[in-house]
Structure 1
Amino acid sequence: MDGTAKATKPKARDAKTKIAQTRMSVLELAKELGNVAEACRQRGMDRTSFYEWKRRFQTHGFEGLKDLPPIHKTHPQTTSPETVERIKALALEHPAYGCNRFEAMLALEGMRVYRALDLPVKAVLTDNGREFCGTEKHPYELYLELNAIEHRRTKVRTPKTNGFAERFNGTVLEEFFRVKMRETFYETVEALQADLDAWLFHYNTERPHMGYRNMGRRPIETVMSFVSQEG
C-alpha cells in the first residue's frame, strides 16, 4: 500500500436510464427550438413517438420515459367487484339517477366510491432542494413548465412556510413508518410502497383530521365540499 488515493470509477447508468435521458433530450431540444418537427429531425424521432413520450413525461415524470411497470391490480383505491356489481344493479333499477345520488345511496349501505375529480393543478409549493430546483432543463422544472403549473418555493430556512407538509411528515413518521418498521421486515421497496399506499388511502379517506382546514372531517370530505361549491 503506497497510500496513494485511487480515483473511484463513476457508476455506470443502466440502459433504461440512458434511453430515458435520450428521450428527455428530445423534449428539451423541442422546447429550446420551439419547433417539434426540427427537434425530431435532428434526433431521429418521429413526431408520433415524441408526443407519446411527452404525454408519459407529463403523467409520470422522468420515470415515464422508461418502460413503466404495470399498475398493480390490487391498488387500495380499486373499486371492489361487489361494489361494481351493486352500482350496476342500482343503475338498472334507477336509470334516471346520476353518479352523485348513487354515491350517496352506496354510502348509506356502507360502501364508499371515490371518483376521479379531474381537479386542475395550477401551482405547487416545494422547498429549495435540488430534487425540485435547478436550471430550466431540470426534469422537475421542465415537467411543471410543460404542464403550465406555477412553481412556488418556500423561504429558505423557514419550514413554517410549508407547514402542511411539515405536519404530514411528522404524522407519517409517527403513525406509519415507526409502526411498520417495528412490525415488518421489508425485502423490497415495492412491498413498503404497497403498505404506504394503503395507509395513505386510510389517511385521506377514513382518518378524521383535527386541523383548522378539516375540523374533524376526513380530507376527502373537505375536497368534496370544495368541489360542490365550485360546481
Structure 2
Amino acid sequence: MTTNKKVARRTLSLLELASDLDNVSKACLSMGHSRQQFYEIRRNYQTFGAEGLVDRLPGPREPHPNRVDEATAERILAYILEFPTHGPVRVAKQLLLHGVQVSSGGVRGVWSLNGILTRHERLLRLERHIRDTGIALNDDHVCTLERFSPEFRERHIETWCSGDLFAVETFFVVTLKGVGKIYLQSAIDCHSRYAFGRLYTSKLPLTAEHMLNESVLPFFEEHDTPVVTVLSDNGREFCGRADRHPYELFLQLEGIEYRTTRVRRRQSNGFVERLHRKLLDEHFRIQGRRNCYESLDEMQTDLDVYLHRYNHERAHQGRNTNGRTPYQAFLDGRPEGQPEEGNEGQQAA
C-alpha cells in the first residue's frame, strides 16, 4: 500500500469514527486532528470523493479572472519602454487616452509578473532592450539613464593643465537695503580649483567682462599661463548673437575659445556650482549674521579675505588637488616649459 493510500485510509477512519461516536470533538481528540481539519477533510470528501482524501501537491492554477489580459499587458510593457520612470497612476491615465482601460493596480500587477516593480528594474529592462534591439534613445531616456547609472555618475571633466578650462557664472547673493540686488560674478580654474569672485549690482555683459579683465586675465598673465577655454551657462550676460554680443567679442579679441553648457544641465558646469555652495556655507551665510553690511565695498572686502584663504590656505581634496591648496595646484599644473615661482631668478641667472 502506498503512502497516499495510507493517508487516505487514516483520513477516512476519522470520518467513520466521528459518525460512529456521533461526536466530532471526541473523534478529533482520539485521532489527533483539529475540528477545522475535520471539516476540511469532510468537505473534500463530499466534493471530490475518495480522491479528496489524498493530499494534493500545489501546481499551476487557473489565472485570476480579474488579471489584465495579454493585449493590455503588452501595451503597458511597450509604454514603459518609452517612459520607464512614470508611475502606475500616470501610466493608467495615459493609456486611457489611447483607448486602453486599466487601473493603476492592474499596471502594478503586470509590473510584478514581469519583475519590474521598481524604477531601477524598469530602467534595467530598458537597457537590456536597447542592448538587444539597438534602437535610438531620445533625450528623456539619455537623461534618466545618466542619472541612475553609476558609470555616468562617475564621469568628470578632463583638464590637462592650469588654464585649460575656466568656468564662469553669475550668482544672485542677496538684496542689500539701500543698495539693491547683489550678484556675484564667479570664476574657477577647473584644473587647480583656483577661484575668483567680484560683487556687482547688476548682471550685464559689462560686469562679466570686467570680472575677466580686472581679476582673471591679470593673474594668468602674471604667471605666464594662457586661458585656453571659458565655459559658461546660457545666461544673457555671457552669450547671444555671435556677431554682436560683447562678451563673446571680448573673448575673440583675447584669443580665448568659448563654450556653453547644455540647456537645463547645471551639472555640466559643476565646478562653479560647487564653488557657489562653498561660498554660501563657509562665507555668505556666516558673515551675513556677523556683519550688517551697508555698502558693496564692505562685502567685497570680506569676500576677498575669504577667497585668499580659500586659494592659499585651505587644503582641497579634489581630483587634481589631493590635499594641496588651489594656488599650489595651479603652479604645479601650469603647461610644460613654464618656470615655477621662486625659480625664475635662478633660471635667468
Query: Structure 1-normalised TM-score?
Result: 0.49
More strand by share: 2
Higher Rg: 2
Query: Structure 2-normalised TM-score?
Result: 0.33
